[in-house]
Amino acid sequence: MLSERNVFDVTIIGGGPVGLYGVFYAGLRGMKSKILDALPELGGQLVTLYPEKTIFDVGGIPKILARDLAEQLIKQASTFHPAVCLDEKIVAFTMHKDGDQSVFELTSEQKVSHFTKTIVLTAGIGAFKPKKLEVPGLAEFEGRGVYYFVNDKSVFKGRDILIVGGGDSAVEWSLNLLDIANHISLIHRSDQFRAHEEKVEELLASSVDVRTFHELKTVKGISRIEEAVIFNNKTLAESSLNVDSIILNLGYRTDLGPIKKWGLDLDKGGIVVNSRMETNIKGIYAAGDVASHPGKLKLISTGFGEVATAVNFAKNLISPISKVYPGHSSDLKDLNSGTLG
């Protein structure tokens, strides 16, 4: 039999906001928990993709920078001293019988084994690569004026910027960089934006030069970007913009990697779950952007609810005498402080 010291009640794969809240919630339920991530630090997309982006849709917080939200979630997750393993990509799992209990063995690329009674997958969108445009000259200027991520807002101080895209990130960065940029233009291939209506209204009322039904044709420069040629996709009329920075917010190509081979039911790149956040494999749950179910909304706020649901049902699975609904967290008298590590 496996030693109880080596077996965790729940292991959460994915150290982004949903995973961090999940490991905290597992602590509330008195579960011995572990969180794993392939990245070298916790925080997921909040710290790797858009640390300086402002987050508006988390309950109780009017607005907060992504990196600051990550910091608060990490602090909260530390409360019950979970085990934390970073820089470990899980590539396989096997199931063992330990008496009457099933135990999963998770194996990393480094051949390290992790044993757990239940698994909650909060891997976000999985491995991600930005979608790119096949535009002449664009690739050669990556790192010299062409950006797909904004990790340091100060880089764009005094810049003439072209932002390409019509989603939430394109709208947010257009507004977020207004206070430091010299000039901002935004082009979008249609007149329909995929962003919160309030932010779109703010964008259209701002000094950003918004050009709908426009696309990028080519870029020019010597040592770095100097000019972008754009065209109206209805009239084909072309125009030139003097820019020294281009930010492309076109979304990401995602890949679940080895998880695709686990035998889980998949749907459009997500893992199919039911209302309990259960997958088709007993003991494995999914929550957040990686989970797929009818009416799915990919928001941090909905992910928090999903992972709490997953943890509660995981608790009931390994301890049937425990109620799925534990009562209100405010009933707890004391939360021990601690640090992750």
Please compute the mean of the pLDDT values over residues 147-172 and round it to a whole number: 91
Confidence of residue 180 (pLDDT cuts 50, 70, 90): very high
CB neighbours of residue 197 within 10 Å: 8
Q: Judge whether residue 63 has pLDDT over 80.
A: yes
Whether the per-residue pLDDT at 269 is higher than 60: the answer is: yes
Tokens of 31: 């579960």
Q: In this predicted model, what pLDDT tens digit does every residue of 87-128 receive, in sequence order?
A: 998 988 898 876 677 899 999 988 999 999 999 999 865 556
Average pLDDT over residues 185-205: 94
333, pLDDT greater than 50: no
What is the CATH superfamily name and number for domain 4-128+253-331?
FAD/NAD(P)-binding domain (3.50.50.60)
Band the pLDDT of 149: cuts 50, 70, 90.
Answer: confident
pLDDT at 328 over 90: no
Angstrom distances, CA of residue 65 to CA of 47, 72, 310: 10, 11, 27
Nearest one of 242, 185, 176, 181 to 208, comparing CA atoms: 185
**195 secondary structure, DSSP code:** S
Confidence at residue 331, expressed as pLDDT on a 0 to 100 scale: 59
Q: Which two tokens stand for residue 128?
A: 């991600």
Percent of the chain exceeding pLDDT 70 equals 92
pLDDT tens profile 289-298: 999 999 998 8
Mean pLDDT of the chain: 89
Name the superfamily (CATH) of residues 132-250.
Answer: FAD/NAD(P)-binding domain (3.50.50.60)
Domain ranges of the chain: 4-128+253-331, 132-250
Upper half-sphere CA count for residue 134 (Cβ side, 13 Å) = 0
Containing 20, the helix (H) or strand (E) segment is helix 17-28
Q: Mean pLDDT highest for which of 147-156, 205-214, 268-277?
A: 205-214
pLDDT at residue 56 greater than cutoff 90: no
**Start-to-end C-alpha separation, the chain:** 28
Average pLDDT over residues 214-237: 95
Q: Give the model's pLDDT for residue 124.
A: 64
pLDDT for 332 equals 54
Confidence at 339, pLDDT banded by 50, 70, 90: very low
Q: Taking residues 196-204, what's their average pLDDT? A: 93
Res. 327: pLDDT tops 80: no
Same fold for the pair 4-128+253-331 and 132-250: yes
Q: Output the pLDDT for position 128.
A: 61
pLDDT band per the 50, 70, 90 thresholds, residue 157: very high
Q: Which residues contact 80 (CB under 8 A, 6 or more apart)?
A: 23, 24, 26, 27, 28, 33, 335, 336, 338
Q: Is the pLDDT of residue 334 over 60?
A: no
